[in-house]
């Protein structure tokens, strides 16, 4: 299979030096890319800014903003069999970006935020015969929220994990199916979880090869 994998955070700039983002290390997405390569698959990796070297042998697209990740993912997806959306995409961006650097005035400031494009939802809409695996990081009402994400974004399954996964070398995940059932669960180092997930995908999801 040829697998599209998104990894790492995105950034949304307030001005030319400050940005909104999160502490995603990209380790899970990069581990998935390596595990897929080890299993003999082709990998297209769309990655936000991280301090990691992409696995040797995959096609790499470096991005920064959510819009750049959306554009690269939408462009690459038609020639892939499926996607694993492991990126921690920034959900909001400032309505207006300040040119240069904002200076301190001693007064409070208000920044109006608007939602960014939903990368996974767009891939879900254009999936056709391809499979879609999403990631859901939830802190409360976790399984129900993950199921809502699965249905809203047209995923086959969603990998549910918690905030403790951010920046960590380990993870504890549940694979949630379309009825809210737990299809599988794994915990340990991210490389082993990645291997297990790639094996599960190989045995349970399939698609018609893209043209």
Long-range contacts of 195-199 (CB under 8 A, 24+ apart): 195/35, 195/38, 195/39, 197/32, 197/35, 197/84, 197/133, 197/159, 198/32, 198/35, 198/36, 198/39, 198/41, 199/39
Specify burial of residue 129 (Cβ count, 10 A radius: 0-12, 13-18, 19+): exposed
Active site residue 161: no
Tens digit of pLDDT per residue, the chain (211 long)?
Answer: 999 999 999 999 999 999 999 989 999 999 999 999 999 999 999 999 999 999 999 999 999 999 999 999 999 999 999 999 999 999 999 999 999 998 888 999 899 999 999 999 999 999 999 999 999 988 778 888 899 999 999 999 999 988 888 878 888 999 999 988 999 999 999 999 999 999 999 999 965 444 3
Active site residue: 22, 145, 154, 204, which one? 22
- Map out the domains of the chain with their CATH numbers: 2-102+110-204 (3.40.50.10300)
* Chain position carrying tokens 């299979």: 1
User: In this structure, are residues 146 and 158 in contact, taking their beta carbons and an 8 Å threshold?
Assistant: yes
| Angle in degrees, CA 84, 85, 88, rounded to 5 | 150
């Amino acid at each position: 299979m040829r697998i599209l994998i998104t990894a790492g955070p995105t950034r949304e700039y307030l001005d030319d030096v400050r940005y909104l983002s999160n502490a995603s290390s990209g380790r899970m997405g990069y581990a998935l890319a390596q595990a897929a390569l080890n299993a003999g698959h082709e990998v297209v990796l769309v990655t936000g800014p991280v301090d990691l070297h992409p696995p040797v042998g995959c096609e790499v697209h470096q991005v920064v903003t959510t819009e750049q990740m959306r554009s690269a993912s939408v462009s690459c997806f038609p020639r892939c069999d499926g996607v694993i959306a492991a990126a921690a995409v920034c959900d909001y961006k400032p309505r207006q970006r300040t040119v240069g650097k904002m200076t301190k005035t001693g007064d409070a400031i208000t920044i109006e935020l608007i939602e960014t494009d939903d990368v996974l939802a767009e891939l879900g809409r254009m999936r056709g015969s391809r499979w879609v695996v999403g990631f859901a990081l939830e802190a409360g009402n976790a399984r129900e929220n993950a199921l809502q994400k699965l249905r809203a974004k047209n995923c086959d399954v969603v990998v549910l994990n918690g905030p403790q996964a951010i920046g960590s070398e380990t993870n504890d995940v549940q694979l949630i199916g379309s009825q809210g059932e737990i299809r599988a669960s794994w915990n340990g180092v991210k490389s082993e979880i990645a291997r297990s997930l790639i094996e599960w995908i190989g045995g349970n999801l399939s698609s018609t090869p893209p043209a």
